A and B are shown apart, each in its own frame.
Chain A
Amino acid sequence: MTIAFASPISAQSLTQDEALTLAFQDAQLERRTAFLDDEQVARASTLAGPDVEVESTVVSYYVATRGGGPVGVAYFDVHRVRTLPQVVMLVVGTDNRVGRVETVSFREPPEYRAPDGWLEQFHGRELDGELSLKGAIANITGATLTSGAVTRATRRVLALHAVIDPFGAEVHDAEAHDADAGDLTANRR
Chain B
Amino acid sequence: MMRLVLSCRVTIALTALLISLAPVHELHAQDADSVRLAELESRIEAVTRELERMQLGRDVVEADSSIQGLGPAASKVYRVNQGVSLGGYGEFLYENFAANREDGSGSGARNQADALRVVLYVGYKFNDRLLFNSEIEIEHAKESFLEFAYLDYRLTDQVGIRGGLLLAPLGLVNELHEPPIFLGTERPLTENRIIPTTWRENGIGLFGSGDAFSWRLYVMNSFNGTKFTAGGLRGGRQKGAKALAEDMGVAARFDYTGTPGLILGVSGYTGETAQGQELANQPVGGRVSIWDVHLDYKKRGWDVRGVVAGAQVSDVTAMNSLIGLEGASGIGSNMLGWYLQAGYDLLRTSASTHQLIPYLRFEKVNTQRGVAAGFSASPANDLTVTSIGAAWRPVTQVIAKLGYQIHSTAANTGVNQLNASLGWLF
Contact = CB atoms under 8 A, between A and B. Distances in A.
Contact of B261 (A12, A76, A78, A139): A139
Contact of B57 (A83, A85, A134, A141): A85
B133 to A, nearest CB: 5
Given A7-B71, A51-B353, A141-B296, A87 B48 contact: no
Contacts of B55: 76, 78
A9 B128 contact: yes
Interface in B25-67: 44-45, 48-49, 51-52, 55-57, 59-64
B423 interface: no
Interface in B108-157: 121, 123, 125, 128-129, 131, 133, 152, 154-157
Given A6-B157, A58-B48, A115-B257, A13 B60 contact: yes
B106 interface: no
Contacts of A18: 64
Given A13-B59, A87-B60, A144-B396, A108 B351 contact: no
Given A7-B71, A15-B61, A76 B56 contact: yes
B154 A109 contact: no
Interface in A12-44: 12-18, 33
Determine chain A's interface SS by DSSP, over half rule.
Answer: loop
A9 B56 CA distance: 19
Interface string A126-150: 0001000111111111101101100
A120 B259 CA distance: 10
Interface string B409-426: 000000000000000011
B48 to A, nearest CB: 4
Contacts of B121: 82
A19 to B, nearest CB: 8
A110 B87 contact: no
Nearest to B62: A15
How many interface residues does chain B have, given as a range? 35 or more
A18 B180 CA distance: 37
A121 B257 CA distance: 13
Given A109-B152, A148-B396, A82 B85 contact: yes
Contact of B211 (A9, A109, A117, A148): A117
Contacts of A60: 48-49, 51-52
A14 B57 CA distance: 11
A11 interface: yes
Contact of B56 (A105, A108, A141): A105
Contacts of B351: 49-50, 129
Given A9-B128, A12-B128, A144-B397, A82 B87 contact: yes
A116 B48 contact: no
Interface string B256-274: 0110111100000000000
Nearest to A137: B260
Nearest to B123: A109
Interface of B: 44-45, 48-49, 51-52, 55-57, 59-64, 71, 73-74, 76-77, 80-81, 83-87, 121, 123, 125, 128-129, 131, 133, 152, 154-157, 160, 175-176, 180-181, 209, 211-212, 257-258, 260-263, 296, 298-301, 345, 347-349, 351-353, 355, 395-397, 425-426
Given A12-B128, A107-B83, 6 more contacts: A109-B125, A115-B211, A121-B260, A136-B300, A142-B175, A148-B396
10 contacts: A7-B71, A9-B76, A9-B128, A12-B77, A13-B76, A15-B62, A16-B56, A107-B85, A117-B257, A138-B262
